[in-house]
Structures are given as C-alpha cells and as structure tokens.
Amino acid sequence: MKLLVLVCVLSVGVVFSVPAQKKDPKLDNTQIAKTKEIFNARCVRCHGIDGKGETELGARLHVPDFTADAWPEPGVTDADLASTIRTGRDEMPAFGKKLTRDEINHLIIYIHSLRKP
C-alpha cells in the first residue's frame, strides 16, 4: 500500500514537472508556409489575415486583436490559448478534432508573430 502511494506521488510529480508546452518560438520556412495556409483557410474569416479581427464576422463576434499590446490578457498562457483552440469558447469553434497538437502549437507561434511589423 505504501509503495502504491509512493508510485502515485512520483507519477504525479513527473506529470507536473514536464513543461505544459515545449517552447519552440521558431518555425522553419516550411512550417510557416503550412501554418499560414491553415490560418488562412480556417481562422481568417473571423480573425482577419493580420490577426486584428477586423472582419465582418470578427466585429460581430468580438474577436480579440492578436496584435494589440494588451493581448493576450495578463495570466493567459500559450497553454490556455491552445486549449481555447482545441475546445473552443463561446463563438470560437473547437479545432481539436481538425488540427493536430503540433498544428495548434504552430498556430500560436504564428499568431504571436503577427504583432511584429
């Protein structure tokens, strides 16, 4: 019984010590091209090609401006953004079944890159 408890504690420790998301802020050119393609195909109608959300649908649904200084809101991590993309929120559709984890992580890196001129 003691051993079981120890094993449980250890495995919880392992799970929590693994970083929630591997930081990989650099995409190579192929990844950028592919991610841009996905963004243009699936996200642009609401979020706009520049991520500002200045589309008709974006304005109606109040999408966040990914290029604003105040975005993401304090305390919102990339893991939170990934979870929003996976499971959706309010009018934001869920993409967890349509996109792979890597595709979603690359989209987040891509979205962050839209801020730079």
Structural tokens at position 76? 């919102």
Nearer CB in complex with ligand HEC: 11/100? 100
Q: Which residue has the tokens 């995409």?
A: 27
Say if CB 24 and CB 105 are below 8 A apart: yes
- Region label for 104, one of left (φ > 0), alpha (ψ between -120 and 50) or beta (otherwise): alpha
Indicate the SS3 state at residue 92: strand
Out of 37, 93, 94, 101, point to the residue binding ligand HEC (CB under 6 A): 93
Binding mask 32-71 for ligand HEC (x = CB under 6 A): ----------xx-xxx---------x---x-xx-------
CB of 6 to ligand HEC, least distance (A): 39
Structural tokens at position 117? 């001129």
CB of 99 to ligand HEC, least distance (A): 6
Nearer CB in complex with ligand HEC: 9/68? 68
CB of 4 to ligand HEC, least distance (A): 39
Dihedral angle over CA of 72, 73, 78, 82, nearest 10: -90
What is the binding site for ligand HEC (CB under 6 A)?
42-43, 45-47, 57, 61, 63-64, 72, 76, 81, 84-85, 89-93, 95, 107
